[in-house]
């Protein structure tokens, strides 16, 4: 039997669910979930969202969690005086451009 205790999913033996840390990229698609001792790690913290209360923002609506509008193009602009935007060159290097 599992229960929710302040953001931790805990079993009857006090073990918690944790996203397995295989690399530096713990928050990756299809990462394994395991049962382990509680360690107050963010990998062990979960949010319960009831399906009937959850709705994805639609195209053009603000996604409040990320602070961005859904499916709407944007630039990331530097606060430096030139106002250059961030771009990627050679498919790997981030630079600022006019």
- Give the whole-number percent of the chain exceeding pLDDT 70: 96
| Nearest by Cα to 77 from 87, 68, 65, 92 | 87
What would the pLDDT profile of 48-94 be if each residue is shown by its tens digit? 888 888 888 999 999 988 899 999 999 999 998 899 999 998 988 88
Paired with 15 in beta bridges are none
Only one residue has tokens 């073990």, namely: 15
| pLDDT for 22 | 63
How do the domains of the chain map onto residue ranges?
A: 1-54, 56-98
Which tokens in the block code for residue 69? Answer: 């509008």
| pLDDT for 93 | 87
* Rounded (5°) CA angle 17-29-3: 20
Which tokens in the block code for residue 79? Answer: 């606060």
Q: What is the pTM of this model?
A: 0.60
């Amino acid at each position: 039997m599992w229960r929710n205790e302040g953001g931790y999913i805990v079993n009857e033996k006090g073990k918690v669910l944790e996203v397995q840390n295989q690399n530096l990229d713990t928050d990756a698609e299809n990462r394994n979930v395991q049962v382990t001792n509680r360690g107050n790690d963010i990998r062990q913290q979960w949010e319960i969202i009831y399906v009937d209360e959850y709705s994805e923002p639609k195209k053009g609506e603000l996604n409040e969690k990320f602070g961005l509008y859904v499916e709407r193009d944007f630039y990331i602009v530097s606060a430096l005086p030139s106002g250059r935007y961030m771009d990627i060159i050679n498919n790997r290097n981030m630079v600022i451009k006019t």
